[in-house]
Structure formats: C-alpha cells, structure tokens
Chains A and B, each alone.
Chain A
C-alpha cells in the first residue's frame, strides 16, 4: 500500500515537471523573423507586434537581411568601411523613412502616397510605432551575421531600448518557447 502511494507521488512529481516544461514551451509570446525590408512588410510587422503587445504578449523581433535597412539611423555615419560595404550602404534604404513598397513603388511615389493616406486615416507612422514598441518592451534583435555580410556596424543602427545583436540560434530559442511564430 505504502509502496503504491510512494509510486503515485513519484508519478505526480514526474507529471508536474512535464506540465511545467510544456507550459514553458508555449509562452504567451510572439516571435517574428523579419527578412524583408519593404515598407509594407515592416508596417505589417510593427502593427502585428503592437497589437500583440497591447494584449500583454511578450514580443521578440529578429531583424535580418534586407530588414536591417529599417533599423539604420541616417544621422549616424561610420568610417572605415571597405568598398563593398560602402556600396551596400549606398544601395540600401538609409532608414525606415526610405523604405520601398514591394508593389506599386513607382520610384517612390507609392510610399509617399501610402504615408499620406496613413496620416489621413490615423494609422501610426513607422517612427511612432517604433517609439511605442520600445515603450511597450518589444525586443528587437539584429542578426549579427547579416549585419557583417552587408558591412553594417552596430553604431549605425537606431537608438532603441536594449537593441540586441545575436544569431539564428537566438531566434530559434525565442521561437521555440513562443505560442506564435511568424516569418515576414
């Protein structure tokens, strides 16, 4: 009898540990890997993130490849870049205010029209959205590998609270414990 109870206790402990690990693997958390640097995709990223944060979800954004252009600060200049890095810097949008639309860009007419419409319809601007994201504790991680690849330096990114620099393993770890994972 006593042995049975001991056994049951052990099993309950075992189950408890399992439940905790399952709970931890499905946190109320949103992870997004953002690869695209198009204005429309970055807007979608920020709107979804803010809606999640408004529902008290933890939000972790992983910016990589073309999306890095959205985090550039045009006022910050860095010296000592090689030719290819300089070319990347020149060819890519200088900041989130210079992003192109994935469709109907029309040499910059499209983004201008969208921004005007957004203002008219009361949609937050990207600047406002990034500011709010910072206030709401949305975490932004810069993919260090793509940063190196394109020759960007840590010093030329926007001022954002706790901007982190990490690799794909960080995204995987964050995504693994999130209940929602997106790729944009």
Chain B
C-alpha cells in the first residue's frame, strides 16, 4: 500500500508503543490484536526502527496481513489487517 492509501485506512485500534524497545511493541501488538475483529485494521506506533521489520515477520507467522508503514515525526506508523 502507498503512504496515501495507508493514511486513508479505517483504523479499529491504535497501539502506542513509542516508549518501548524490542520486544515491547510486539507484546503490545499481541495484547491488542485480541480486542479487534477479523478484517479490522490495527495501527502500531513505534519509535524503534526494528519494529518495522519485526511486525511483518510476526504477521507472516500469525497469518495477519501486513499492509505497510510510514515514518511520522520521529516514529513509525505500522499497519496490519487481522486475519
């Protein structure tokens, strides 16, 4: 997805993990994914650049669809769709 498309997404849940380092954002994502419905979009905010690599891997393993990410001011917005 392009950044423009990502910005248009209807986000069901936003997880703010900006103060955390690995593996914090992943654990926060795991906690939050249970609270949304299949097909919903979740956004993860992280200031840890490794998260942009870890979340796609996590999605591939868990079967969620990784949609993409873009850099905001000093952090990343990462998007995925729950399977």
Contact = CB atoms under 8 A, between A and B. Distances in A.
Interface of A: 47, 50-51, 53-56, 118, 121-124, 132
Nearest to B61: A55
Given A54-B23, A55-B62, A56-B30, 14 more contacts: A47-B23, A50-B26, A54-B26, A54-B27, A54-B29, A54-B30, A118-B21, A122-B19, A122-B24, A123-B20, A123-B21, A123-B22, A123-B24, A132-B27
Contacts of A50: 23, 26-27
A56 B31 CA distance: 11
Contacts of A54: 23, 26-27, 29-30, 58
Nearest to A52: B23
A51 B29 CA distance: 11
Interface string B12-35: 000000011111101101100000
B23 A56 contact: no
Nearest to B28: A54
Contacts of A124: 20, 24
How many chain B residues sit at the interface, stated as a range, is: 10 to 19
9 contacts: A50-B27, A54-B23, A54-B26, A54-B30, A55-B26, A55-B58, A56-B30, A124-B20, A124-B24
Contacts, number: 37
Max chain B Cβ within 10 angstroms of own Cβ: one of A47, A53, A54, A122: A54
Interface of B: 19-24, 26-27, 29-30, 48, 54, 58, 61-62
Contacts of B24: 122-124
Contacts of A122: 19-21, 24, 48
Max chain B Cβ within 10 angstroms of own Cβ: one of A51, A53, A56: A51
Contacts of B48: 122
A127 to B, nearest CB: 15
A27 to B, nearest CB: 14
A63 to B, nearest CB: 20
Max chain A Cβ within 10 angstroms of own Cβ: one of B23, B54, B58, B61: B23
